[in-house]
Amino acid sequence: MDPALRLRLMTEADLAFADGLRGIVGWNQTLKDWQRLLGYEPQGCFIAEWSGSPVGTATTTRYGTELAWIGMLLVHPDCRGRGVGRALLEHCLTSLKGTPCIKLDATPLGKMLYDKLGFEVEWPLTRWECKYFMEPPAALLTEAGRGHPRNPANESIEGLAQDAAPRASETSRIAHHASRTLKPLDASLAAQLGRLDSHAFGISRAAMLERLVAGSSRALVAISEGGELDGYGLLREGAKASYLGPVVADLSAGGTALVNALLSHAKGRPIYWDVPDVNAAATGLAKELGFSPQRHLIRMYLGANKHPGNPAQCFAIADPSIG
Ligand SMILES: CC(C)(COP(=O)(O)OP(=O)(O)OC[C@H]1O[C@@H](n2cnc3c(N)ncnc32)[C@H](O)[C@@H]1OP(=O)(O)O)[C@@H](O)C(=O)NCCC(=O)NCCS
């Protein structure tokens, strides 16, 4: 390692630098996202200094003892190609020693580095972007539902037509769909998310979900006719766009209803939505709602991927920095 390079723990005092670097690279996270990452893993977020000045960042997030995530690997453009990125990544891996599986969502630049360190491809995902979200007319949405041969969600899309109507206050609103009910996610329902989410994600991330719910601008659950909680979804504000995710649903009907209802609260805003490519229902919905692919990422893992989860139930990831 070059003697000018030093790695150390990130502190609250570094967050202005970290978020400034994030802004230079053009990512969508906010100061609140950094605070959540650091608050969750105060011994696992790092700063790289070059000759005493901060030049890079990386974060880790542990999900129990089985899985950890690496995120926010950023090096100032003026300091790239000097080994800073590799040193930060290796430092993260050392700090996560003993964790059987480490994952991340790689940009094309990052992938060159991760390939060298033995990370393997799990699945590709696409960031879908809508520059100015306009809720399509209800009739069009119903048509879009009919155009989804593998999606038994027409009733949910019908439900969206109801959603598009003027509504009562945020907390009192309950949208009834032919097959499910959407409700604001409150503390009593949050406890039930665990089973659903760990099935889709592969492992429990209840503590992180709690923080994401607390930081969201809108949080909904889908309840089936039988009274089962079979989906949930969040929307939060980002630096460049509202961010849709995570959205998890047992069935595409629930995912579709959740996405439609969450998006109806982001009208007039740009929206980013990261979707596993394998989720055909979510990809189809993104296209029908006028989203376009903005960039491609690759979910990668190092170690034994014993708890892969089910990306087909993942309508939107939580964030590339945490999975
Ligand atoms: C990805 C990033 C962190 C790499 O940082 P860096 O300090 O330039 O990386 P390093 O100098 O340590 O190089 C790491 C390795 O990747 C290779 N590499 C890095 N950038 C490369 C490029 N543009 N073309 C080819 N290879 C490249 C280097 O050859 C090096 O290999 P080596 O260690 O075997 O010599 C940096 O480019 C960055 O901040 N990019 C924008 C944000 C981003 O995409 N982050 C990754 C998130 S998944």
Spatial separation of the C-alpha atoms in residues 284 and 300, rounded to whole Å: 24
> What distance in angstroms lies between residue 303's CA and the mean position of ligand 1's atoms?
21
Q: Give the three-state DSSP class for 279.
A: coil
Confidence class of residue 186 from pLDDT cuts 50, 70 and 90?
A: confident
- Is the beta carbon of 202 within 6 A of some atom in ligand 1? no
Q: Which residue ranges form the domains of the chain, and what is each CATH number? A: 5-99 (3.40.630.30), 129-316 (3.40.630.90)
What token pair was written down for 235? 């929307």
> Which residue blocks in 96-205 are alpha helix, DSSP H?
108-116, 138-146, 154-163, 187-190, 193-201
| Pairing, β 271-276 against β 242-249 | parallel
Cβ count near 16 (within 10 Å): 12
Spatial separation of the C-alpha atoms in residues 100 and 194, rounded to whole Å: 21
Confidence class of residue 138 from pLDDT cuts 50, 70 and 90?
A: low
In this prediction the pTM is 0.88
Q: Which amino acid type is present at position 149? A: P
CB 59 within 8 Å of CB 72: yes
Spatial separation of the C-alpha atoms in residues 127 and 146, rounded to whole Å: 25
Nearest CA to ligand 1 atom 1: 110
Task: Specify the residue for token string 């790689």.
Answer: 106
Confidence class of residue 146 from pLDDT cuts 50, 70 and 90?
A: very low
Nearest CA to ligand 1 atom 42: 74
CB 102 within 8 Å of CB 96: yes
What token pair was written down for 105? 């969502």
- Is the beta carbon of 84 within 6 A of some atom in ligand 1? yes
> What distance in angstroms lies between residue 89's CA and the mean position of ligand 1's atoms?
10
Burial class (CB in 10 A: 0-12, 13-18, 19+), 173: middle
What's the whole-number average pLDDT of the chain?
87
Cβ count near 278 (within 10 Å): 14
40-44, 143-147, 260-264 — which is least confidently predicted? 143-147
pLDDT at 216 over 60: yes
Q: Which amino acid type is present at position 145? A: G
pLDDT at 13 over 90: yes
> Which residue blocks in 130-279 are alpha helix, DSSP H?
138-146, 154-163, 187-190, 193-201, 206-214, 252-263
pLDDT digits (tens, 9 = 90+) for 56-81: 999 999 999 999 999 999 999 999 99
pLDDT the model gives residue 180: 75
pLDDT the model gives residue 312: 95
pLDDT the model gives residue 215: 95
- DSSP label at residue 45: E
What token pair was written down for 40? 């969750």
pLDDT digits (tens, 9 = 90+) for 227-260: 889 999 999 999 999 999 999 999 888 999 999 9
As a whole number, mean pLDDT of residues 7-13 equals 98
Confidence class of residue 136 from pLDDT cuts 50, 70 and 90?
A: low
pLDDT digits (tens, 9 = 90+) for 148-165: 322 333 233 223 323 333
Q: What atom of ligand 1 comes closest to residue 105's alpha carbon?
A: 48
Q: What atom of ligand 1 comes closest to residue 86's alpha carbon?
A: 12
How far from chain centre, in Å, is Cα 207?
15
Q: Which of 14, 117, 125, 112 is nearest to 59 (CA)?
A: 14
112-121, 176-185, 269-278 — which is least confidently predicted? 176-185
